[in-house]
Amino acid sequence: MRPFTYTASTNKEAALRAFTTTSHYLGGGTNLVDLMKEDVARPDQLIDVNNLEYNEIVKNDKGGFTLGALLSNAATANNKDVRQNYPLLSMAMLSAATAQIRNMATNGGNLLQRTRCPYFFETSMPCNKRAPGSGCGALKGMNATHAIFGYSQKCIATNPSDMCVALAAIGATVEVQKQDGSSRMIDFNDFHRLPEDQPEKDNTLNQGELITAIHLNEPAFSDHYYYLKIRERSSYAFALISVAAGMQIKNGTISKIGLAMGGVAHKPWKLTEAEAFLTGKSASQANFEEAAMIAMKAAKPFEANKYKVDMGEKAIVRALTQAYERKY
């Protein structure tokens, strides 16, 4: 690991002021410290923000709840208000990593975790995300776990977060503090970006901006929800494919739906067309199947990840069925 100076900030002003172009904020460290050991992340200053007071869950003016950015993933998933109002979010968060990692990981850090593309981790390999202009090793290499939607010739990586898939389904706004002391709100769907010509940029944050809160939309999916995660083993692995499904159902008709997929794109992949198709329709197997077809229509897989199209379609049907039928 390269040398760096360590500063623990006790207030946001100090943290923002200390930030330089070669700094990183430190949350739980579960992604950043790992990447520093791999020599992928090379900050010369770490600004520990864990002592800042953004660690509460409170009601917000959208009729929903707001998650402090520095609260741990474990504390968030197990918060009573979150479990009861957003069980979909709890379920997705609890599917991620392990108890130890969830105790460490912060909500802000989770939004910014980087791809698990093996070329990104291996510094002897080309990777546009790690070293812009060096090429994409995965494009013609090992890409069984890579994207089937929205990629570019510059990068075909996926976003690995489970939490973010649920957030895309539920709807949220991310609040960030700018270095000049003002704040701004980013709609969650605009928070992560597609790789296009700048795969080194995972999201739309500007340098030095500090995430302080995630404002969740009004809860709507506490009766019908399911987070389906398909992986190579049944626990402690990243998703090959995941589906977050939430529905509001009145007399058998879907009055509101949130549907998003993980493991398929550079950002949490909101299934907008499938959502539109299902809204106002009956919660039937036939409709679920048609929605799944609509959702996967635009998929452009590579040879090695063709399985994701079929798996994805079936996963959508299964997640919707579970959300509809499960009694919890």
Partner 1 sequence: MPKSIFMKKSDKSQQVNTPDELTADENIILDAMGLSASSRRKFLRQVSTGSLGIYASSFFSSEVFAQTVQDLPEQAQILLNEIKVNLRVNNMVKPLAIDSRMSLLDALRERLALTGTKKGCDHGQCGACTVIIDGKRKLSCLTLAATCEGKEITTVEGLAKNGEMHDMQKAFVKHDGFQCGYCTPGQICSSVALLEEAKNGEASYVTEDLKNIKSGLKLSEEEIRERMSGNICRCGAYNNIVQAFKEVHSGDDVMPTWEFATAEQMKKAKNA
Distance CA 311, CA 75 (A): 32
Residue 276 in contact with partner 1, rule: CB under 8 A: no
Residue 158 in contact with ligand FAD, rule: CB under 6 A: no
Distance CA 239, CA 146 (A): 11
Show the site string, 129-168: x = touches ligand SF4 by CB under 6 A, - = not: x------xxx----------------xxx-----------
Residue 30 in contact with partner 1, rule: CB under 8 A: yes
CA 172 vs CA 66, 159, 165: distances in Å: 9, 17, 11
Distance CA 227, CA 206 (A): 31
Among 61, 180, 232, 328, binds partner 1 (CB under 8 A): 328
151 vs 227 by CB, closer to ligand SF4: 151
Per CB under 6 A, which of residues 204..243 are in contact with ligand FAD? Answer: 210-211, 238
Buried-state track 203-242, b at ≥16 Cβ within 10 A, e below 16: bebeebbbbbbbbbbebbbeebbbbbbbeeeeeeebbbbb
Q: Which stretch binds ligand SF4 (CB under 6 A): 38-46, 117-125, 254-262, 311-319?
A: 117-125
Residue 40 in contact with ligand SF4, rule: CB under 6 A: no
CA 284 vs CA 13, 60, 249, 310: distances in Å: 53, 34, 12, 20
Distance in Å, CB of 54 to ligand FAD, minimum: 7
SS3 percent helix, strand, coil of the chain, rounded to 5, is 30, 20, 45
Residue 131 in contact with partner 1, rule: CB under 8 A: no
Among 30, 73, 95, 128, binds ligand SF4 (CB under 6 A): 128
Write the burial class of residue 65 (CB in 10 Å: 0-12 exposed, 13-18 middle, 19+ buried). buried
209, 308, 304: which is closest to 261 by C-alpha?
308
15, 87, 3: which is closest to 51 by C-alpha?
15
Per CB under 6 A, which of residues 7..36 are in contact with ligand FAD? Answer: 24-32, 34
Residue 318 in contact with partner 1, rule: CB under 8 A: no
How many CA within 13 A on the CB side of residue 328?
9
119 binds, among partner 1, ligand FAD, ligand SF4, none (CB under 5 to 8 A by kind): ligand SF4
Contact residues toward partner 1 (CB under 8 A) are 1, 3-6, 8, 26, 28-30, 33-34, 37-38, 46, 48, 50, 72, 74, 77-78, 83-84, 87, 90-91, 94-95, 97-101, 103-104, 222, 229, 234-236, 328
Contact residues toward ligand FAD (CB under 6 A) are 24-32, 34, 49, 69, 73, 96-97, 101, 104-106, 108-110, 112-113, 160-163, 210-211, 238
